[in-house]
Amino acid sequence: MAMEITQILLAAQSPDAQIRTAAEESLKQFQEQNLPHFLLALSVELSNEQKPPASRRLAGIILKNSLDAKDSIRKEELTQRWVSVDPAIKFQIKESLLRTLGSPVAEARHTSSQVTAKVASIEIPRREWQELIAKLLTYMTQQDTTSSLKQATLEALGYVCEEVSPQDLQQDQVNAVLTAVVQGMNQKEHSSEVRLAAVKALYNALDFAQTNFENELERAFIIKVVCETAVSKESEIRQAAFECLVSIASTYYEILEPFMPSLFNLTSNAVRGDEEPVALQAIEFWSTVCDEEIAIQEEYGGADEGSSSLHHRFIEKALPSLVPMLLETLLKQEEDQDQDDSMWNLSMAGGTCLGLVARTVGDAVVPLVMPFVQENIMKADWHNREAATFAFGSILEGPSVEKLAPLVHSGLDFLLNAMKDQNSHVKDTTAWTLGRIFELLHAPTSAYPVITNENLPRIMAVLLESIRDVPNVAEKVCGAIYFLAQGYEDEPSSSVLTPYLGDTISALLSTADRTDTTNSRLRASAYETLNEMVRCSNLPETSNMIAQLLHEIMKRLNQTLELQIISSEDREKQSDLQALLCGVLQVIIQKLSNSDSKALILQSADQMMLLFLRVFACRSSSVHEEAMLAIGALAYATGSDFAKYMPEFYRYLEMGLQNFEEYQVCSISVGVVGDICRALDEKVLPFCDGIMSALLKDLSNSMLHRSVKPPIFSCFGDIALAISENFEKYVPYAIPMLQGAAELCSHLDASDEDMLDYGNQLRRGIFEAYSGILQGFKNTKAELLMPYAGNLLKFTEAVFRDKNRDEGVTRAAVAVMGDLADALGPTTKALFKESHFYSDFLEESFQSDDDQLRETATWAQGMIRRVFLS
Amino acid sequence: MAPPSHDLRRAYKRPAISDQQRRRELALLRQSQHRADSHHRARQLASSLLPSSEGPLRTEQEIEPEVEPGTEPEVEPEARVLDAPRAAKLGGAEARRWFARQIMLPEWMIDAPPDLDRNWYVFPRPAGKRCFVVSSNGTTVSRLRNGSVLHHFPSSLPNGARTKDKSGPSSSYSILDCIFHEPDQTYYVIDMVCWRGYSLYDCSAEFRFFWLNSKLTETGACNPPSTYHKYRFSIVPIYECTEQGLHAAYSGVVPYVKDGLLFYNKQAHYQTGNTPLALVWKDGACSQYLLDTDSKGQVPSQQQVVLELQEDGKLTTSDDPPHVFGCFDRDFIQKSGLRPGNLLRFAIRDESVRLVDGKMEISDLQFVGRSNRARAFADSHSKVLFQYAARHSPLRIEDLFACIRSSPTDEDGSNDIEMAG
């Protein structure tokens, strides 16, 4: 076999599909028959200088894919398989890999450095292959090392740093790596290939350099070398060096102070004179500093005391030079940049950075930007007008309303006129700026209302005309209408829009129908803006119009079912459109069912449900999700009448619950089960066997995204509350799941914020499940739950002692104590007597600011007291 | 070796509409609110009138006796154990039953208690709708004796309106026993059951009346109506039941239409349901409603009673234990389509009534029909007896005065103490 592997690897790249398939089949067989020898053969192939580069490359790729996968479960499998390979064979493979780093064939070296890092990512955390770093470093220090070996070695070091986490390397290893990498950047000693590899390796090693950055001399040295590299003559190296600076600004913001003057000069020269890829990184440096300072300000909520030592106010200090530099970039637009989504150029980066600067310093940015706006806004060249508008739009977030309101007032009319500019870039940016004004400054109750009864007619007229402009402008106009409507969300002011609702709905519907763009975003924006118009409309004033819209959308949804579907692309388009239309229906259902106009929904419920079922029949996950959401809203609106749809709908609900790959679909289906339980009550019983078994399977499925699991527990509670004592047969399955999850809660990593959050969701779900079951069983089968009461109280106590519980968990936990006493009555007396924590828990709850929590605690206390008095 | 990505910055000139995520979040929010509502319903129904209290349980013993919180109303076990979710579905029928059982119902006075002048209060009962008024969480609800809601309104009672009165947790209840007097749209408070979360169930009437008089006026609940106070509350003049006290209650001028007199035993706790420690008495001079009317509002020529049909066909009063006046046989029940629990109206002929050991026996009940739907309960034995007496040999006001005069009185006991200010 070893003899043939070259042929097979070459055959696997043959243009002839038959040969290729056969080769792939033999590779697969070899792999299945004897994995260790297969891996060894691949490594031998990769390292053999006699073999053709093509077979070596594929050998390396297959080797790499045998060690790592994107999917975390597959990855774990591969890791385990590698770990179990005979150590002698693993040793041979690793030797081959290191040997290949010195290959004269660049592709082989490169592949080998990647595979080396993959092996390291498995072995180093397990405290194996500890000699790797030392070996790689020898290559760097040996006199006779070729330039290509050095380059491959640095690349390998970089990849290793990217793959393993900082705690897996010892400090002396880190020191040695940094030394080697920094030396590799030395301009005098090394070729440009070596230096580029060194800078890129440094980029990955920066995370490891925590200790080194704490040392003043060491960090000064590292930054000095990076700055020198940032003016190398090779632009690729300069770009990589600026990338390092960006990373340093983000990771080591607190030590930047002494370096800022030289960093300002360095970046400023790059922005003004360097090639675009380098200049973009230089702007990115300042955007990153803004990110850091915004994060500090948000964390300390503007309380200067606490943040002063951490907050260096670099942006504020650099402002007088930084802002002019950014304004210059705004004039470097490219033709047609608004049509190309993948475009990222200097003016875009500069404007984005200016927006971040405004958020960082607030008012101080305004006087530095306004002269530029005034000077350029009337100029003949569209570049000036667009740049002026973009500058103005960029600083609308951050400065105070007091500062901005007068400017917006005097500028609004100008902007509305500019919607008729002859250049479409200007119109695009103007529409975007109007959207920003409405998003950020428009509030009818504000002391500085942007939109008044006087200017609203003109604003609406301009928007409804401009929505017919070219697609990219129309999309921005949709955004402006969206935020304009959002400002009137509150009931009393929503009447203001009533006179415009009819025209706006028609304009949005025609916009959704436009055929002059292939980009689906305009249509999505139009429908989503329609949603916001519906949400913010005034009822009952507009209920007739919304009822008309409901019929129009149903008509459109019906039309999607008749579309001719030939390709998978057609299918996808149909599905996207159905998603948007189902979204509008969901919003309408939700809007009307909370009002006196609910009858309008009930009249059309049958038709809507039929449409949703037909949409399901087209089978596409994203529609599935939107139709599912709409059905949940419909179930709430129809109440127990929903029962008649269940026989047809049930199989789709079950499909949704089983769709663990698309966890959003699964999660929404779980939520809809809750809606249905509340709508149907005991009428949901015939479907509960199926639902419960799907839910239990989901819980045991390790592939299902964890975020779906807490809602499943809450859903148990919904079901139990609906079907009362009929939940009995599920108790032997549900309770162990709850107990298992409760057990899991105590083992979650408390240092990981995501896990803390998850732990809280899980706890809340568990408590909601118990609450529903206890209340559901209260009068009939409560005694069945007695065996679990002790466990539940212990869990509650553990939660009480957990410092990380949030208020939602606290409420659910306090409620469950009351439910326990309420449902089980006197039998819990002894339990509560032993559990002293409950009175502390109640006491703590009484001190809370949360009315709902205090009320729940009062109730729980009453229930427990009743137990004691019995 | 991924270079720092610009993806984060790509929001370039794109309006931040992410409506799908918004729809998802709004849907989740709606679901979680509805879940909370249904849990809340399941819980609150059973406890909506439990006296709530502030502070943790274990301090119970440390609290001074007069404000001792938390003992709960004496209610029948079946009223406690509610099938909450099902009751909610029944449109609140169970809830009404529950509320209906919370009110203390005076027996009708057949004979004057011998210690009337020493141990009793007397006050003129306002004519109107007897109800429980509960203020909590920024709103006030009044419920009639049959449990149905009379008004839902803001009031100056503690936590009775959404104002910034932060004198205690907004969830703590206050519960007043009132009579709503239509002509002046006023709630006349005749008893205080719970105040700012402190239960007064187990307090003597003496303390409850004292507390009522001192606390109610503090809140501004007796002020004329305003935006956050839709109905005026008022207290009634309560007298020691001495000769002068009885006289004042009987013939004194009050701002409301009188409907008889109420007598409360000073030591009695607030006991839900029928109690002989609170008594109602009427005559034609102090009440327009001495004799019961039928469904047409006429006083029928024969006395009528309302009884409850039991599972076994027995026809009983609302007392606990019930008093049996008669029985239907199974055939009749089946033919007539009546069900256990139905309230039925009967006429009684005078000659069919016998009094045996203070209990009434009726040998011949004449079935008239079903009673008015708004009724929640059958008549009590004492009411039937009082109505019978009123038609034949009523207990007159002179008899009450005579009873007071004949009993030995302490010197200081004869002074009037008017507790209403």
pLDDT of residue A624: 76
Chain A, 328 to 347: residues with Cβ < 8 Å from chain B are 338, 344
Return the closest-CA partner of residue A833 out of A867, A784, A783, A796. Answer: A867
- For residue A866, the chain B residues in CB contact (below 8 A) are 50, 72
A718 touches chain B (CB under 8 A): yes
Give CA–CA dist A24/A140, Å, rounded. 38
**Average of per-residue pLDDT across A80-88:** 94
**Average of per-residue pLDDT across A658-683:** 91
pLDDT of residue B80: 30
A525, A626, A865: residue with CB nearest B57: A865
A162, A587, A846: residue with CB nearest B54: A846
CB contact under 8 A, B54 and A532: no
pLDDT of residue B11: 62
The CATH 2.40.50 portion of chain B extends over: 303-392
Residue of A nearest to B18 (CA): A528
**In the structure encoding, which two tokens stand for residue A811, read together?**
């409420």
* CA distances from residue B320 to A271, A522, B260, B331 in whole angstroms, order as listed: 92, 74, 25, 28
CB contact under 8 A, A344 and B6: yes
CA atoms within 13 Å, Cβ hemisphere of A863: 32
B13, B47, B86: residue with CB nearest A862: B47
Chain A, 640 to 699: residues with Cβ < 8 Å from chain B are 664, 668, 671, 674-675, 678, 681
B17, B56, B89: residue with CB nearest A842: B56
User: Pairing mode, if any, of strands B139-144 and B149-153?
Assistant: antiparallel
Chain B, 118 to 157: residues with Cβ < 8 Å from chain A are 137
What band does A40 get if pLDDT is binned at 50, 70 and 90? Answer: very high
How close B41 comes to chain A (CA, Å)? 10
What band does A709 get if pLDDT is binned at 50, 70 and 90? Answer: very high
How close A432 comes to chain B (CA, Å)? 6
What band does B201 get if pLDDT is binned at 50, 70 and 90? Answer: confident
CA A821 to chain centre: 42
**Average of per-residue pLDDT across A537-563:** 93
pLDDT of residue A308: 63
The third-level CATH classification (topology) of the domain covering B303-392 is OB fold (Dihydrolipoamide Acetyltransferase, E2P) (2.40.50)
Angle subtended at Cα A336 by Cα A332 and Cα A339, rounded to the nearest 5 degrees: 125
Chain A, 19 to 38: residues with Cβ < 8 Å from chain B are none
Residue of B nearest to A675 (CA): B31
How close A590 comes to chain B (CA, Å)? 9
Chain B, 28 to 87: residues with Cβ < 8 Å from chain A are 28, 30-31, 34-35, 38-39, 42-44, 46-47, 50-58, 60, 70-72, 81-86
pLDDT of residue B54: 33
Q: Is the pLDDT of residue B19 over 70?
A: yes
Give CA–CA dist A186/A194, Å, rounded. 9
What band does A621 get if pLDDT is binned at 50, 70 and 90? Answer: low
Residue of B nearest to A863 (CA): B47
CB contact under 8 A, A483 and B137: no
User: What is the number of other CB atoms lying within 10 angstroms of the CB of residue B214?
Assistant: 11
Non-local CB neighbours of A264 within 8 Å, separated by 6+ positions: A318, A321, A322
CB contact under 8 A, A243 and B3: yes
Give CA–CA dist A191/A177, Å, rounded. 19
pLDDT of residue A303: 55
Residue of B nearest to A240 (CA): B3
The listed range with the strongest mean pLDDT (A23-32, A707-716, B10-19, B113-122) is A707-716
Q: Which domains are seen in chain A, by residue range?
A: 705-869 (1.25.10.10)
Q: Is the pLDDT of residue B165 over 90?
A: no
pLDDT in tens, A412-450: 999 999 999 999 999 999 999 999 999 999 988 888 889
Question: What region does A155 belong to: left with phi over 0, alpha with psi -120 to 50, or beta?
Answer: alpha
- For residue A344, the chain B residues in CB contact (below 8 A) are 6, 9-10, 12
- Assign domain B8-53+78-285 to its CATH architecture: 2-Layer Sandwich (3.30)
Phi–psi pair at B138, nearest 5 degrees: 80, 15
How close A5 comes to chain B (CA, Å)? 31
pLDDT of residue B205: 87
ipTM: 0.70
The CATH 3.30.470.30 portion of chain B extends over: 8-53+78-285
CB contact under 8 A, B171 and A855: yes
Residue of B nearest to A721 (CA): B85
**Average of per-residue pLDDT across B112-120:** 86
How close B311 comes to chain A (CA, Å)? 21
pLDDT in tens, A456-492: 999 999 999 999 999 999 999 999 999 999 999 876 7
B26, B55, B89: residue with CB nearest A846: B55
